[in-house]
Every structure is written in C-alpha cells, then in structure tokens.
Amino acid sequence: MVALLATSCQKKEFTEPVKVNLEVAIAYGESSYLSFKEGHILFEQILFDGQRHQGGSVHFATESGNEIGPVQFADGSSGAIKKFDIPQGIYNSMQWRFILDEIEMFIEKDEEEDDDDDEDDKEYDNDYDSIEDGGLILTGTFYSSDGDQKPLYIVLDDDEQLIVSSQNVGSYGDIILTSENTYTAQLLIDPFYAMQTISEETIENAEVSTNESGEFIEISEENNEALYEIIVYRLESSLKVFIE
C-alpha cells in the first residue's frame, strides 16, 4: 500500500504544470553602420520536445493552422508569444520548432507626401507601401560611409522552420522547472551576428529597392539572394530560447 502511494505521488510530481511565458526579442548588438529597431514574426504552429531525467519525455504542439501573432518586438522590449503549462522536472534538453506563417508587411510612406484623399474613401494601401511578405521581418537602418542612411529589411521566408534549443541564462547545464515558480522562455534573434561577416562595402553595393517612401535595402529570397543565404544560415544557427 505504501509503495503504491509513493508511486502515485511520484507520478503526480512529474505531471505538475509549470507556467512558462514564451517571448521573442532582438539580441543586443553594436555596429558602426547597422542598427535594428524592431521585428515582426507570425507562427503557424509551435512544437515542443523536452527530455527529462525522470518522468519521461514531454511533447506538445499548438493547434495547426491556428496562427499565433503576428508578434511585434523592439530593441529593448520583448514581444509576448504564448503562455504554456509544461510539466515540472529536470530537463537535460528542450527543443522548440517554430513553423512560420506569412506576414503581409507594410511600411509607412513619407510624411511629406501629399494626401488629398477624402478620409472616408482612403484605402489602407494609400497610407503604406508593402515589402516582400515573410514569416519573420527585421527592420533596421544602414548608415553608409558618405553619411547617407537607408531602411534595411531582413525578410525570412515563411517556408522556413526554426529549430531552436533551450538553455539556462548564463549556463549550459540542465534546466530545472518547478511548479512553485513562473518562468520566461525568450526566443532571442540576433541580426547583428547574422550580418557580422557582411562588410559595409557589400551592403553599400547591395541591390536597392524604391517605392513611394524612397530607397531601401531588402534582403529576402527575391532581393539580394546571395546575402539572404548567408544571413539566414547565421541567423538560424544563432537562435536560442533562454529560460529564466
């Protein structure tokens, strides 16, 4: 009887839920010719795979086709994605798979443009210019050596799947989740690392796009494809979900 009770308590311990808030943020970085101010991301589905020392593995997925987002995040502030209940335990590995969906992204037109349209008849796209659709869009600025500056957009295709491992903040050891605590899991995106091997001169010579707002640099599958391949590889290889 005592043995059965102990087994029952142990099973309950391994199924006790832990509140985990999943967020996304831009990693801190410095560059003399680049800055990044914000990002947008849209998820089609999020999948989780966790391996525990005891109590078995943990797998779950959000409902396929039930979009999460788009989530906006900025330099210095994170964007909330979703809250999860994850069984407590000592995890020797956690892996997330983020399946992206398509964001229709708009950028504001130049404030000096004439706007003679009647407010009641104004169309949404009269106020905004569109850029290439993607699953993750990072917005920044390129500062050229001659003092000029241009908006810079990194547009990750929505066909990309982001497979990301978790780790403790400041540690590579096991991740311990206990039901008495609430945790933050932060998906950290590092555009500075992604652009690190690309010189100022290379960006200065990149293909420039133009719309009613003026000139901008778009790095996507459709524009500056060679740069896109480099950036996507480095961006995806540097992704981490930090647990705190």
pLDDT tens by residue, the chain, 244 residues: 333 323 333 555 888 999 999 999 999 999 999 999 999 999 999 999 999 999 999 999 999 889 999 999 998 899 999 999 999 999 999 999 999 999 876 655 544 444 444 444 433 343 445 677 899 999 999 999 888 999 999 999 999 899 999 998 877 789 999 999 999 999 999 999 999 999 999 999 999 998 887 899 999 999 999 999 999 999 999 999 999 9
CA 42 to CA 71: how far, in whole Å? 6
pLDDT of 76: 85
**Residue 143 carries which side chain, given as an amino acid letter?**
Y
CA 114 to CA 205: how far, in whole Å? 31
pLDDT of 169: 84
CA 173 to CA 92: how far, in whole Å? 8
Confirm whether 23 is domain-assigned.
no
Query: For residue 119, what is the DSSP state?
Result: G
Confirm whether 95 is domain-assigned.
yes
Confirm whether 22 is domain-assigned.
no
Q: What is the domain range of residue 64?
A: 30-108+124-243
pLDDT of 64: 87
Confirm whether 5 is domain-assigned.
no
Confirm whether 118 is domain-assigned.
no
Confirm whether 3 is domain-assigned.
no
Residue with tokens 């949404």: 124
Closest CA to 52 of 18, 8, 24: 18
pLDDT of 130: 64
Confirm whether 66 is domain-assigned.
yes
pTM to 2 decimal places = 0.85
Confirm whether 187 is domain-assigned.
yes
pLDDT of 75: 86
The answer to whether residues 87 and 14 touch, using CB atoms and an 8 Å cutoff, is yes
pLDDT of 11: 57
| Torsion of Cα atoms, 218 then 223 then 227 then 228, to 10° | 90
**Residue 16 carries which side chain, given as an amino acid letter?**
E
Closest CA to 241 of 81, 60, 131, 34: 81
Query: How many domains does one find in the chain?
Result: 1
